[in-house]
Amino acid sequence: MERAQLVKQIFGRRSVLCVGLDTDLNKIPRHLLREADPGFSFNKAIIDATKEYTVAYKINTAFYEAQGIRGWESLQRTLEYIPEDIFTIADAKRGDIGNTADQYAKTFFETYPFDSVTVAPYMGSDSVKPFLQRKDKWAIVLGLTSNAGSADFQLQQCGSELLYEKVLRAVASWGSPDNLMFVIGATRKEQLQHVRQMLPDHFFLVPGVGAQGGDVPTVCGNAMNKDGGVLINVSRGVIYASNGEDFADEAAKAAKAYRDEMAVYL
């Protein structure tokens, strides 16, 4: 998906919501376990309930890989079911070099034709550039995360700047705002402001809203740009809004509530 198409969806739906399909078979409603493919049955109902309010779906591949071949089949069915005008993210956090990185890019851009894939930049440009070679495909690079362990490396001094700042500046030079996004955690206003000043044009995938303590006004008020510029991911707060037979209806209500919060800023 081209940037212009994504921006059109954002302003057309007045939403920057990304629904995370972190589908755990231990958490979905019990009645779905009788289905031939419980994960896909759950995802299908969630997509039907939320597609009016979201501009992106993020599939965390770990929840599918853990099931072996059945999980990959469920992932494929889910990806094929997502409407074509909604941006798709393979949250795979791949990070290798050379032919291996090329094969990962082929996996998530061709075999499973996602619009984007999350990438870890620790090994340098060799681990990111293979994901920047295809038209209308995006690399979403880990930049500044909100987990407790982020302080171990990301917030360490590295010369005249913090390590995450050095990473953001370097990676931004390898691509463009048309094919490169960054994962930026949602929990601290000052950090969101600072990263937006560093990268005025790039899109940010922002986790941490909802169950992890972040909120929509903090993100939208401090990280948006003229194109929207953020995709706010919410997983548990939408897909597990209920664990009963009304799970899809409750997911729709949660997604609409988030969309309505976001619409004020668009």
Q: For the chain, 266 residues long, give each residue's pLDDT as a single digit of tens.
A: 999 999 999 999 999 999 999 999 999 999 999 999 999 999 999 999 999 999 999 999 999 999 999 999 999 999 999 999 999 999 999 999 989 999 999 999 999 999 999 999 999 999 999 999 999 999 999 999 988 898 899 999 999 999 999 999 999 999 999 999 999 986 788 899 999 999 999 999 999 786 666 799 999 999 999 999 999 999 999 999 999 999 999 999 999 999 999 999 99
Please tell me the predicted confidence (pLDDT) of residue 146: 84
The residues assigned a catalytic role are 93
Q: Which residues of 61-78 are buried (b: 16+ CB within 10 A; e: fewer)?
A: bebbeebeeebeebbeeb
> Tokens 């099931």 — which residue?
67
Q: How far apart are CA 182 and CA 104, in angstroms?
A: 18
**What is the number of domains present in the chain?**
1
Please tell me the predicted confidence (pLDDT) of residue 211: 62
- CATH number of the domain that residue 249 is part of: 3.20.20.70
Please tell me the predicted confidence (pLDDT) of residue 163: 94
Q: How far apart are CA 227 and CA 225, in angstroms?
A: 5
Give the DSSP letter string of 45-76. Answer: HHHHHHTTT-SEEEEETHHHHTTTHHHHHHHH
Would residue 183 be called left, alpha or beta, if left means φ above 0 and alpha means ψ between -120 and 50 degrees?
Answer: beta
Please tell me the predicted confidence (pLDDT) of residue 125: 96
Q: Residue 113 gets which letter from DSSP?
A: -
Nearest to 262 by CA among 226, 224, 211, 205: 224
Nearest to 111 by CA among 71, 61, 63, 76: 76
Question: What is the distance, to the nearest Å, from the Cα of residue 76 to the centroid of all Cα atoms in its chain?
Answer: 17
97: domain range? 3-263
- Which uninterrupted H or E stretch holds 139? strand 138-144
Evaluate whether 119 touches 159 at the Cβ level (below 8 Å): no
Report angle CA 86, 89, 95 to the nearest 5 degrees. 160
Please tell me the predicted confidence (pLDDT) of residue 212: 64
